Amino acid sequence: GTKGNRFCMPNARVMIHQPQSICCLTGEHTLHIYLWTGALLMGYTKIRRFANLRKSNTNPPPLLPSSPQRGDLPLGRNMEDAILDFSYKEYAESPPRLREESSWVQNPPIKKTKECGHSSLGTVFHFEPCSSSKTRDVIIVTEENPKKKNKKLVLPYLHDHVMYSILNRLTAHSLYHHCKQWLPITSNPVFIHHHLHTSPLGLITAKYINNNTTSLFQFMEFDGLHFKLQDLATLPVLFNVVSSCNGLAVIEQRQLDETQSTATYVINPITMQKIQPPWDVLRKVGISTCWIELVFFPSTNEYKIVISLWDEHTNYSFLCIWTLGGGRDNLWREIDGSQVWFKYMGNRILVDGVLYWDFFHGLLAIDLSNEKAQLLQLPNQLSSGLKSMLKMEGCLSFVSYCNPQKADIWMLKKNNSSSSPTKDEGEEWVIVFSIVPPVGQMRREILRYLLSVLGCVNNGQVIIFRKLNDCKHQCGSLCVYDVNTKKWREIENDKDFSEYKVVHCNSLVSLQKS
């Protein structure tokens, strides 16, 4: 590519409606798309937001961060937020420099539809690589028209670095289902890792459809107090999502038979790859499962499953751990120091390679590096059972309900002198802010511990509470709190939805190991 490659359409407006499609509409705006690939490769340009530029307005659109962080991207990213995120270092009115295989249609027909997606606003152009070109150009093809031949436009040679940045702005669902032409890029482990850390956090749950014979994965993405539901995939069984880590989910399948036996899998709801750990060796008489947690240990790039088992004979619970893809000799291992005299306690949070389990008067910290556990003490203000644990800004945090008028947010902040992942002299608990519940039923529910924290999304700007239905912490309706506006919203749980909801981000992380 050379500096200044661009195309413009006078008296027309362009918008991207679906991944791999461009819709062209007549309108009052003129949009200039500048693919300044040469400068992008040298790192001289910034990523800028696109804008529909009026003829009378020549101000450039505002800058975007060159490396977007989780939560920076708008709700429901699609090709509109991907292709047109690429802006320009300079722009000027100039004729397009495109190699056309046929003439450009200045006034394309409107009210067309596309079979692979809803795009009834105008003519659709497919966005795909040019397989016949030695320079790997990109072809934009118009929608099929029985009266006219397909129109083709060729954008000269988009470098992998440019396509990398474009594709990184798409959702995992769009990449996997609509961008298979770019598989050499999207299947690269480096791309998958980068895309994972720019994917927004939300909630994943299951919706029961077809007379409660099929389960549908649904992802809730939040923008303040508003949310958007996205259908991911279906399974011909009923299941609950019990844990999630880096786009991989642990689902518990329920069998509709007399035994009501369960089967548990690790699955990627986007790619639908799944594995079943060897649970049979843990199923013994008098041994029951309390909870299951999927965790990731970045030092070794390994995913592990931690399971809490309850021994009815001794009234003790203990923890076992298993490594995904660990080979033939990979067996369940009991974690040292994990025996406790409690069956049900608080939630679990993974922070810096340590899985924390909330007790009433302390924390059980499971170090994933040496697979050992130790009991940590909490300050007196947090030693009571009226608290919920969460991860906020990458730090271990608590919501404390001890104050009758408000809920305090405590955070364990690490000083520069401390390098230990567990509680150390270089760490201290501080109150970062407080939440004042609205007057009425919600305040009574929070202060009576009927609302517990489910997690936080949008870089800690949205905290999601759940109403507890029983001691197993199943989730009924949700209460969403916006830290910026200090407003609340209650979201009722539909009867067709599973009561289990966990914090999740969609990703292309693979379960296939070489």
Give the DSSP per-residue string, 266-316. EE-TTT--EE---GGGG--TTEEEEEEEEEEETTTTEEEEEEEEEETTTTE
Length of the chain: 514
Strands (E), 120-201: 123-129, 138-142, 152-155
Residue 323, pLDDT > 80, answer yes
Residues 365, 270 share a domain: yes
Q: What is the pLDDT of residue 107?
A: 30
pLDDT of the residue at 343: 55
Task: Report which of 88, 98, 96, 7 is spatially closest to residue 51, judged by C-alpha positions.
Answer: 88
For 178, the 3-state DSSP assignment is: helix
17 flagged as catalytic: yes
Structure tokens at 37: 């690939």
Domain boundary among 162, 194, 226: 194
Please answer whether residues 130 and 80 qualify as being in contact, where contact means their C-beta atoms are separated by less than 8 angstroms.
no
Q: Provide the mean pLDDT of the chain.
A: 68
Please indicate, yes or no, whether residues 186 and 225 belong to a single structural domain of this protein. Answer: no
pLDDT of residue 513: 65
Regarding predicted confidence, which is higher, 214 or 474?
A: 214
Work out the pLDDT band at 203, boundaries 50, 70, 90. Answer: very high
- Among 128-137, 235-244, 369-378, 487-496, where is mean pLDDT lowest? 128-137
Question: Which domain CATH number covers 227?
Answer: 2.120.10
Structure tokens at 191: 């791309």
Domain boundary among 147, 164, 194: 194
How many alpha carbons lie under 13 Å from residue 32 in its C-beta half-sphere?
A: 24
Last residue of a domain, one of 176, 194, 212: 194
pLDDT at 299: 85
In a domain, 180, yes or no: yes
- Residue 110 is part of which domain span? 5-194
Per-residue pLDDT of 410-466, as tens digits, reads 998 877 654 444 445 578 888 898 888 776 656 666 555 567 788 899 888 899 988
**Do residues 288 and 340 both lie within one domain?**
yes
Q: In terms of domains, do 172 and 223 share one?
A: no
According to the model, what pLDDT value does residue 218 have?
A: 92
Characterize the bridge pairing of strands 302-311 and 427-435: unpaired
Q: What is the largest CA-CA distance in the chain?
A: 82
The pLDDT value recorded for residue 303 is 92
349 and 483 co-located in one domain = yes
320 and 171, same domain (yes or no): no
Asked whether residue 202 carries a pLDDT value surpassing 90, the answer given is yes
Note whether 208 and 154 are same-domain residues: no
Residue 58 has pLDDT above 50, yes or no: no
Catalytic residue among 17, 32, 126, 178: 17
The mean per-residue pLDDT over the stretch 179-184 comes to 80
Does the residue 510 lie in any domain? no
Number of separate domains in the chain? 2
Residue at 60 is within a domain: yes
Question: Quick one: angle between helices 189-196 and 160-167, nearest 10?
Answer: 40
298 and 392 part of one domain: yes
- pTM score, whole prediction: 0.69
230/148 same-domain check: no
